[in-house]
Chain A
Amino acid sequence: MSFKRDKKEEEDSGGNPYQNLDKTIILQEARYFNQSPVNPRKCCLILTKILYLLNQGEQKFTTQEATEAFFATTKLFQSKDVMLRRMVYLCIKELSTLAQDVIIVTSSLTKDMTGKEDLYRAAAIRALCSITDSTMLQAIERYMKQAIVDKNSAVSSAALVSALHLSSTAPDLVRRWANEAQEAISSENAMVSYHALGVVAGSRKNDKLSTVKLVTRLARSPLKSPYALCLLIRLAAQLVEDDDSDAAQPYIEFIECCLRHKSEMVIYEAAHAIVNLRKTARDLAPAVSVLQLFCGSSKASLRLAGARTLARLTAKHPTAVAACAVDLENLISDPNRSVATLAVTTLLATGAESSVDR
């Protein structure tokens, strides 16, 4: 009988078992977390419901309700089920901004962060750093430094990204981790290297001389990660913008070199930087021809990237853009409306009477 009713209810809500969830009922269900032994699957479903409600954002949790749910969730640390533990971390992160006294889980998370289970460690670091304030940060500093240079790439990335988030509230403390981050830039793992570069560059934001050193060193030993290369191009471009003497020439050369990279993301990043930096139309030629190629791509995001950057160039170098008129005209009837609009406005800004006729 109950099967039938459940089935009917599911059909009524269009087959979404999470529709029509009620906050008070879920919070009551969360009391089930107190039971021992823990039933991982059932608890996972309840946590999913809580996260779904938070994600929908319509039924707001009061501080008291969030705290209640948070404390119920902490009971689940007694289970060793990996999936459940991961959902617990996720819930901790989502509830941490709403609930009170969230630091109560610090010791549980520190234990997981330094434990043997790799699947716990990375996620535990991220959860821990989301509940930690700058006063507590010192207590976990040693573990964070270790995690940054950990062999496991997920652990290392988690620590680096968390450090980056923390640097907005505790810049001085995080700056002390820069040595470890520096070491992680040369990691074999592309994401670790990207995150490490982000942390190091962030810690040197106001120190031009050391940024110069960093960019000069890395430009010579090309990074493997396309994301990291994009970031390095941005850093190099900033140095060129601040200093247009001959000293900036090596950075320009590095960026131009990236135009021949195999990743489209890096090629575009380089072309965009050059278009915004170079002063004469002749210097621009290699970048413009890359953007011209993008305009003829089968991928809409490439066409948009190409057309948008060319559109920006019209103010500075209308002649350089005029050379791409034919490519832009092809885009007027583009199935993507953003691309078509950009092409039309660019042509109107650069076009001579002769091209209007065509």
Chain B
Amino acid sequence: MVHTTMEGSLFEPTLYIVKGMCILDNDGNRILAKYYDKDVLPTAKEQKAFEKNLFNKTHRANAEIIMLEGLTCVYKSNVDLFFYVMGSSHENELILQSVLNTLYESVSILLRRNVERRVLLDNLDAVMLAFDEICDGGVILDSDPTSIVGRAALRTEDVPLGEQTVAQVLQSAKEQLKWSLLK
């Protein structure tokens, strides 16, 4: 994308608004991240350095928005997860805020309101699909969390025992034990 807009002038009429989105854990490590503009943080190394810096500046102060390294970053955290949406510093902050709200709300519905790292990792595939449904190459694709979740969470719930994960088997074994003791 070519940046023709100068400091203090009009916003550029473009659909390429989101420069990046990421979810970090409570050590500032990346769980998921996407950067959409090849001129902004092109390498994984630069991205991770930026994420560390971003995390250090934001994880204590829940101040919603920060201007950092020429980017406007809006953010939100819950328990041990941090959600960020980045845009150019010549961008309408409220549009970025709406993308963050969409991201957070979609993930929250997907995880049945248990927005925490463990649950997110158990549903990583669905969250990846949600990421992909929210933003396509920097263009906001959808802003409605229910329709996003409708297209990301497609798993049929009843899974035969042989295909369950270890955690699920343990969980159901625990439940059964609990009930047999309570009897």
**Residue ranges of A at the interface with B (Cβ–Cβ < 8 Å):** 3, 6-7, 15-18, 39, 41-42, 44-45, 47-48, 51-52, 55-58, 82-83, 86-87, 90, 93, 119, 122-123, 126, 154, 157-158, 161-162, 164-165, 190-191, 194-195, 198, 201-202, 227, 230-231, 234-235, 237-238, 241, 264-265, 268-269, 272-273, 276-277, 299-302, 304-305, 308, 312, 315, 335-339
Q: Is the CB of A48 within 8 A of B124?
A: yes
Separation of A301 and B75 alpha carbons in the complex (Å): 10
Separation of A302 and B11 alpha carbons in the complex (Å): 17
Q: Is the CB of A231 within 8 A of B8?
A: no
**Residue ranges of B at the interface with A (Cβ–Cβ < 8 Å):** 7-15, 30, 32-34, 44, 47-48, 61, 63-67, 72, 74, 92-98, 117-118, 121, 124-126, 128-129, 132, 136-137, 139-144, 147, 151-152, 154-155, 159, 163, 166, 169-170
Separation of A164 and B1 alpha carbons in the complex (Å): 12
CB closest chain-A residue, reference B98: A265
CB closest chain-A residue, reference B1: A168
Query: A300: which B residues are within 8 A, CB to CB?
Result: 63-65
Q: Is the CB of B15 within 8 A of A195?
A: yes
Q: Is the CB of A55 within 8 A of B147?
A: no
A-B contact list, 17 entries, CB within 8 Å: A3-B166, A17-B121, A18-B124, A42-B163, A48-B128, A123-B151, A154-B151, A158-B141, A161-B141, A227-B143, A234-B12, A235-B13, A237-B10, A269-B11, A302-B94, A312-B7, A335-B63
Separation of A108 and B168 alpha carbons in the complex (Å): 34
Query: B72: which A residues are within 8 A, CB to CB?
Result: 304
Separation of A123 and B141 alpha carbons in the complex (Å): 12
A154-B151, A301-B94 given as contacts; is B15 within 8 A of A198 (CB)? yes
Distance (Å) between the CB of B26 and the closest chain A CB? 10
Q: Which of A57, A277, A336 contacts B63 (CB 8 A)?
A: A336
Q: Is the CB of A47 within 8 A of B166?
A: no
Separation of A51 and B96 alpha carbons in the complex (Å): 25
6 closest residue pairs by CB, A with B: A57-B44, A300-B64, A234-B13, A198-B15, A336-B63, A265-B94
Report which residue of B124, B125, B147 has the largest number of chain A beta carbons within 10 angstroms of its beta carbon. B125
CB closest chain-A residue, reference B118: A15
Q: Which of A51, A231, A301, A308 contacts B74 (CB 8 A)?
A: A301
Query: A164: which B residues are within 8 A, CB to CB?
Result: 15, 139
Given contacts A86-B129, A194-B140, 20 further A-B contacts (CB under 8 A): A42-B163, A57-B47, A83-B155, A90-B132, A154-B147, A161-B15, A162-B136, A164-B15, A191-B141, A198-B139, A227-B140, A237-B11, A269-B92, A300-B65, A302-B93, A302-B94, A305-B94, A336-B64, A336-B65, A338-B65
Q: Is the CB of B98 within 8 A of A238?
A: no
Main secondary structure of the interface of A (DSSP, over half): helix
Q: Is the CB of A301 within 8 A of B65?
A: yes
A56-B30, A272-B92 given as contacts; is B121 within 8 A of A16 (CB)? yes
Q: Which of B11, B13, B34, B118 contacts A272 (CB 8 A)?
A: B11
CB closest chain-A residue, reference B7: A312
Separation of A218 and B63 alpha carbons in the complex (Å): 37
Q: Is the CB of B125 within 8 A of A83?
A: yes
Query: B13: which A residues are within 8 A, CB to CB?
Result: 201, 231, 234-235, 238
Query: B30: which A residues are within 8 A, CB to CB?
Result: 55-56
